[in-house]
Structure 1
Amino acid sequence: MADPFLIGSGMTGGYGGADILHDCTLAVERGEIAVIVGPNGAGKSTAMKAVFGMLKLRQGHVRLNGEDITHLSPQARVHKGMGFVPQTHNIFTSMTVAENLEMGAFIRHDDFRDTMAQVYDLFPILKEKRNQPAGELSGGQRQQVAVGRALMTRPSVLMLDEPTAGVSPIVMDELFDRIIEVARTGISILMVEQNARQALEIADKGYVLVQGANRFTDTGKALMADPEVRRTFLGG
């Protein structure tokens, strides 16, 4: 059987000390939304960083579109089509919204104005505030800038580390709607999210991690319906 479009398989490793991940596997197909949930300290962000090459694996491999990228740097993975939006420090606060988006196109040598227009279509508020310093924006608007900047590289995979952290429920719903729109264009989404219930509602696939290992893997709907998952991880 062919690999999924992106897979981190049997990932074991940490940041130099004890292993944080233990035989952890994450995968996402083209145009699919895969969500990683679990308790605090479960290794969710660590697992996604491992897929992006920010963590050295002792065991396991990462493959993108059939190519083994396990030993590539994060920068090289961006050139291969991976976009990563960290949870914090993900925009240039002193630069305008437009300048932030332009920074996202740093790897490109073609005319990126069409991509910028697509980002503005996706996030109309960014077009309205394009000449404003990004540091003056609300938390939700900053997240839109961060996602928009990652989209400027024209990624085939977009990785989001807790994109709704610290935003209001209304802004969270809006961000999730935009994420669904991005996936509909054929971009794969791999996302870590604290708001597990809401995230699983939009997920094609969900991973529940506990102590750096897979505890449950299923469709978002199936995980939402699983009594043990609901009781233990979704508050009943």
Structure 2
Amino acid sequence: MAFLIGEAMTGGYGGADILHDCTISVEKGQIAVIVGPNGAGKSTAMKAVFGMLGLRQGRVLLDGRDITALSPQDRVAAGMGFVPQNANVFTSLTVRENLEMGAYLRQDDYSITMEQVFDLFPILQEKAAQPAGELSGGQRQQVAVGRALMTQPSVLMLDEPTAGVSPIVMDELFDRILEVAATGIAILMVEQNAKQALNIADRGFVLVQGRNRFTDTGQALLADPEVRASFLGG
């Protein structure tokens, strides 16, 4: 059993199912990437794992514990960090205040964790007193990831972390994501830049219309002729 698994998930919004018997999983210290065409249910699968979407069938397990009935807030307390694609920083708060918001559940001294975030993203220390709304798109993403790391998660979930950033910033973010995984945190990521994401992925899930179409290692999916032709531009 994987460290985190959304198993045989079926559900959607209102009466229509978007996910159909969909399974997504990731191990500690590894990166799992969800890719597929627009409308494939990638972000929906991520939200289902985080508890933002009710399931008609299936379950979510974290380290062997069934958390299907837990609210997103309780999943954060259980060790899940989630970074949404949009509106993922408090624009009127400073960078430091944004990071402090990530530690709101903690009762211990979180200063060491903040130093670790600054080590991972040095620009955030430089701009610690600056309102997050004044930052570039890539810097905001660093704030959002840093805030999630302040909860000391065992799983970090990223919904389109490189959306709207330049190729250089995308490469930098992927490098930092690799560093986070190397600390033992499991990373589950939805990403439109499929080739680049699969290149750093231990596991890849290709979804089509809410169903698993291909599941394999990142490198195996990159080498698969059908995957390349249908989803990676040849």
- Measured against aligned partners, the alpha-carbon deviations of 1:78-133 in whole angstroms (never above 9, x if no partner) come to 00000000000100000000000000000000000000000000000000000000
Q: State the Cα deviation string for residues 178-211 of structure 1 (Å, max 9, x = none).
A: 0000000000000000000000000000000000
2: CA distance, partners of 1:17 / 1:221: 37
Unpaired runs of 5+ residues, structure 2, are none
Give the drift of 1:137: 0.3
Q: Report the alpha carbon displacement of residue 16 of structure 1 after superposing the two structures with TM.
A: 1.3
Which aligned pairs between 1:38-187 and structure 2 lie closer than 5 A?
A: 38-187=36-185
Aligned to 1:220: 218
Alignment gaps of 5+ in structure 1: none
Q: 2:133 and 2:145 mapped to 1: Cα distance? A: 15
Deviation at 1:227, TM superposition (A): 0.1
Supply the AA of the counterpart residue of 1:28.
V
Secondary structure in 1 matching 2:6: strand
TM-score normalised over the length of structure 1: 0.99
Output the CA distance in 1 between the equivalents of 2:74 and 2:127: 32
Alpha-carbon distance in 1 for matches of 2:46, 2:161: 13
Percent identical among aligned pairs is 80
CA displacement at 1:18 relative to structure 2 = 0.7
- State the Cα distance separating 1:15 from its structure 2 match: 1.1
| Counterpart secondary structure, 2:86 | coil
Q: Find runs of 4+ consecutive structure 1 residues off by over 4 angstroms.
A: none
Instruction: Tell me the equivalent position of 1:11.
Output: 9
SS at match of 1:229: helix
SS in 2 for 1:207: strand
Find the aligned partners of 1:90 and 1:107 in 2 and give their Cα distance. 18
Matches of 1:88 and 1:191 in 2, distance apart? 15
Please give the TM-score of this superposition, normalised by the length of structure 2. 1.00
The Cα RMSD (Å) is 0.3
What is the number of residues matched between the two proteins? Answer: 234
